[in-house]
Amino acid sequence: MQHSLEADRRRSIQKSGSLKSKIDYLKKNHFLYWLMAPALILTILFKYVPMYGVIIAFKDFSYSKGIFGSDWVGFEYFAKFLNAPNFELIFMSTLKLSVYGLILGFPVPILLALMLNQLRKAAVKKNIQLILYAPNFISVVVIVGMIFIFLSPTGPINKIVTLMAGHPITFMSDPAYFRTIYILSGIWQGAGWASIIYVAALAGVDPELHNAATIDGANLLQRIWNIDLPTIRPVMAIVFILAAGGIMAIGFEKAYLMQTAMNLPASEILPTYVYKVGLQSGDYSYSAAIGLFNSVINVILLILVNFIVKKLNEGEGLY
């Protein structure tokens, strides 16, 4: 009994000491918390407070009754979407576009960063980086406009195709070409900008390691495999987890702008469908249910991918 009381007293002293150290730390660094306060307040106001609106996914929303006054319908709209005739088409189109984009797009920034890291002339490296980063600052509307111009039946690409095949190809009207065009144009636009984080990570590699490896007879590929890649592996893991966690969160603008009446079987994805159902048709509860379903899938994928990466990456993951 006495031993138990002594142990409780020690724990109490440790807790009070820990609390006092935390208070002292807050007093010492209070200025940093004041600097963080505006960002924290804005995050709460614009990210967390609007979450109350998610409940309309479980209600038969009516303007006259308001969000809280509308009738509760539970999972009715979720069941409606899951049983919809076009559910499989839209879901699979979204999944395919995301997975193919991740598989094809994830390695490209890494390869660009590794190649840029081999350039020794600073001026040449800066000029190449400028060219690679520039597409990221072009508006999505302009990018899609360029795609339509280049791939139109009378565009420069089809002129070459006509010379070789004898007839043009309707790239923007054929569903078979939509995913390829969407993914490749996305890689061209974003790969250079995405490589910045890997270039920054590679800047921390000690040049002496490369010099020592060269003296030992290692060639370029061996140095990249044994020195550069292990250095950026933690960054690769985090970027991959975040990308996989948002695998269903495809950008709405580009897919919607690239849509035509003929390529809908491939271009109709969850974000565009939510826009059409919610804003164009005014069925807010149904569109909110679809959006919430999409978000839940993303959260599940984030947790699952993080778990797998931690198992394969010696415990290193997002959290």
- 149-158 confidence digits (pLDDT tens): 999 988 899 8
CB-CB neighbours of 92 under 10 Å: 12
pLDDT given for residue 47 in this prediction: 85
pTM here is 0.81
Low-confidence spans in the chain with pLDDT less than 70: 1-19, 313-319
- Residue of 287, 258, 318 whose CA lies nearest to 77: 287
pLDDT given for residue 25 in this prediction: 80
pLDDT given for residue 177 in this prediction: 92
pLDDT given for residue 43 in this prediction: 92
